[in-house]
C-alpha cells in the first residue's frame, strides 16, 4: 500500500476513533477469506457474510462503515442488497465486486445501489485498499455534512461549513485534475458576484464547481488520464458515468442535494445531446450551464480535453465554436465579456513584470509564453513554488525579455 493510501486509512480511522468496520459479502468462501485476510492486515475490523440474509444480520448487530459486496449472491444480487443498505443507512460506503463488468451492471449499481465504485475480479490488494480508503474518506465527509441539517444555523454559517466540507473533498481529486476544481470555483465565485446572484446561489454554485469532477475518482486509471477527445467505446461510457457517481456521493447528504443536482448536470448540452439525461436549453440549471463554460475553458488550457494545452485565445475560440450547440450562448457571451473586463485595463501597453519577480500565489492574467510562442503557463493559473522554479529555469535564457501579466499585480492567497 502506498503512502497516500496509508494516510487515507489513518485519517478515516482517526475520525471515527476506532478501526473502520468493513462487511465483506460473497458466496464464495475463498473470496471472503482473501478479503478478510487482506483487510485485517491493514488494520480494519472485518465482518463477513455469504448471502444477503447473513449480511443483513451483520448490519443489525454491528456498526458498519463500508460494504464490499459481490454482484452474484445466489438467488439475490449485490446491487439489490446494496440498495437496501442505502435505504437503511445512506452513510455506509458501498463497493460492488464483480466479474460481470458490463454497462447494465454499472448502470444498476449507480442508480439502484448508489455504489461508490466497482471493483472487477481478480482485484489487486493495492486497488482494493485505495478504493476502500477513498470511499471511507468520502463518506466520512458525507456524514459530517448530513449532520449540518440537524443543527440550527443561519444560512451564511451553513454555507461556510459546507465550503469546508467540499474543500476536504478536493483532496480526492484525481492526479490528472489536481487544482482544476479550485480554479473553476474561483472563476465561478467572481463571475457570480459580477452577475449579482443571490449569495446562497453563489455558494451552491461554487461548491458544485469545486467538486464537479469528484465522480472521476471511481473511474479506471486509464480513463482518468486520457483527454476527453481521445475517449472512445468503453472508455467514453465509463467517463459518462462520473456526473451520476458524483451526484450519488453528494446526495447522501440532504445539505448537498442542490450541489448534487448541479454536478449531475454539468455535462448536459444546450442542444440536448449531452449526458446523463439529455437535457436541453432552459431545462439545464443556469448554474450548470455557466459551470459547463468555465469548466471547459479551464480544461482546455490544462490539456484535459486535447493532448496539448491550448492558449487562452484558442480555448476561448473552442468554446465560441460551440456556442448555441454545447453551450448556452447567453452564458458564453456574458462570461467572456466579464473575463475580458477582468484582465488588467492597460494590458495592451503594460510591460508586465519579469518572470524573476513572480511569487507563489500570483494568478496569471495572460498566457505566459516564450518569444517563440511556447506556452509555459496558461492564463488563470495560480503560481506555486514548484511551478515557479521550473518556469524560471526555462525562462532564464530569455532574461528580462520574458515578462508575466498577473491579476491585480499581487498575490492571491
CB 364 within 8 A of CB 388: no
> Cα angle vertex 125, ends 121, 127, to 5°?
70
224 vs 235: CA distance, rounded Å: 9
Distant-in-sequence, close-in-space partners of 158: CB < 8 Å, separation ≥ 6: 148, 151, 255
Q: What is the pLDDT of residues 356-381, one digit of tens each?
A: 888 888 877 777 776 655 667 777 67
Q: What is the pLDDT of residues 176-226, one digit of tens each?
A: 777 888 899 999 999 998 888 888 888 889 999 988 988 887 777 788 888
Percentage helix, strand, coil, to 5, in the chain?
55, 10, 30
CATH numbers and ranges of domains, the chain:
3-142 (3.40.50.2300), 149-342 (1.10.3210.10), 353-411 (3.90.105)
Angle formed by the axes of helices 125-148 and 242-251, nearest 10°: 50
The pTM of this model reads: 0.54
Q: Which residue positions in the chain have pLDDT lower than 70?
A: 1-17, 100-113, 141-174, 252, 343-351, 370-375, 380, 395, 397-401, 407-413
Residue 105 grid cell: 451492471
184 vs 298: CA distance, rounded Å: 7
DSSP H helical ranges for 89-232: 103-111, 125-148, 155-169, 180-194, 199-211, 221-225
> Cα angle vertex 225, ends 245, 233, to 5°?
70
Percent residues over pLDDT 90 in the chain? 28
Residue (of 274, 316, 268, 318) closest to 288 by Cα position:
268
Amino acid at each position: 500500500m502506498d503512502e497516500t493510501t496509508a494516510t487515507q486509512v489513518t485519517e478515516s480511522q482517526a475520525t471515527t476513533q476506532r478501526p473502520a468496520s468493513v462487511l465483506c459479502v460473497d458466496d464464495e468462501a475463498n473470496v471472503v477469506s482473501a478479503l478478510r485476510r487482506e483487510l485485517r492486515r491493514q488494520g480494519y475490523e472485518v465482518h463477513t457474510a455469504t448471502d444477503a440474509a447473513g449480511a443483513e444480520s451483520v448490519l443489525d448487530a454491528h456498526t458498519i462503515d463500508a460494504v464490499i459486496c459481490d454482484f452474484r449472491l445466489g438467488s439475490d444480487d449485490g446491487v439489490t442488497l446494496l440498495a437496501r443498505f442505502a435505504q437503511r443507512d445512506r452513510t455506509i460506503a458501498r463497493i460492488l465486486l464483480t466479474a460481470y463488468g458490463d454497462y447494465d451492471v454499472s448502470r444498476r449499481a449507480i442508480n439502484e445501489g448508489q455504489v461508490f465504485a466497482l471493483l472487477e475480479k481478480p482485484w489487486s490488494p493495492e486497488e482494493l485498499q485505495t478504493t476502500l480508503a477513498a470511499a471511507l474518506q468520502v463518506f466520512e465527509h458525507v456524514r459530517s455534512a448530513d449532520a449540518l441539517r440537524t443543527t440550527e444555523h443561519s444560512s451564511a454559517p451553513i454555507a461556510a461549513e459546507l465550503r469546508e466540507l467540499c474543500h476536504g473533498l478536493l483532496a480526492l481529486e484525481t492526479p490528472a485534475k489536481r487544482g482544476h476544481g479550485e480554479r473553476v470555483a474561483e472563476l465561478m465565485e467572481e463571475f457570480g458576484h459580477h452577475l449579482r446572484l443571490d449569495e446562497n446561489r453563489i455558494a451552491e454554485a461554487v461548491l458544485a464547481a469545486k467538486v464537479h469532477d469528484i465522480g472521476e475518482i471511481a473511474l479506471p486509471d486509464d480513463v482518468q488520464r486520457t483527454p476527453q477527445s481521445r475517449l472512445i467505446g468503453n472508455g467514453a461510457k465509463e467517463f459518462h458515468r462520473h456526473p451520476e457517481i458524483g451526484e450519488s456521493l453528494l446526495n447522501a447528504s440532504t445539505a448537498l442535494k442542490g450541489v448534487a443536482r448541479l454536478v449531475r448536470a454539468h455535462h448536459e448540452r444546450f442542444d440536448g445531446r449531452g449526458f446523463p439525461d439529455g437535457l436541453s436549453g432552459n431545462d439545464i440549471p443556469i448554474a450548470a450551464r455557466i459551470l459547463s463554460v468555465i469548466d471547459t475553458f479551464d480544461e482546455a488550457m490544462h490539456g484535459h480535453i486535447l493532448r496539448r494545452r491550448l492558449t487562452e485565445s484558442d480555448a476561448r475560440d473552442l468554446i465560441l465554436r460551440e456556442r448555441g450547440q454545447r453551450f448556452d450562448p447567453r452564458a458564453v457571451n456574458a462570461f467572456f465579456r466579464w473575463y475580458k473586463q477582468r484582465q488588467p485595463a492597460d494590458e495592451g501597453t503594460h510591460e508586465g513584470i519579469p518572470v524573476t519577480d513572480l511569487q507563489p500565489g500570483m494568478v496569471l492574467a495572460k498566457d505566459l509564453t516564450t518569444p517563440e510562442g511556447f506556452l509555459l503557463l496558461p492564463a488563470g493559473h495560480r503560481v506555486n513554488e514548484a511551478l515557479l522554479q521550473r518556469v524560471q529555469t526555462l525562462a532564464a535564457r530569455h532574461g528580462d525579455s520574458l515578462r508575466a501579466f498577473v491579476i491585480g499585480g499581487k498575490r492571491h492567497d
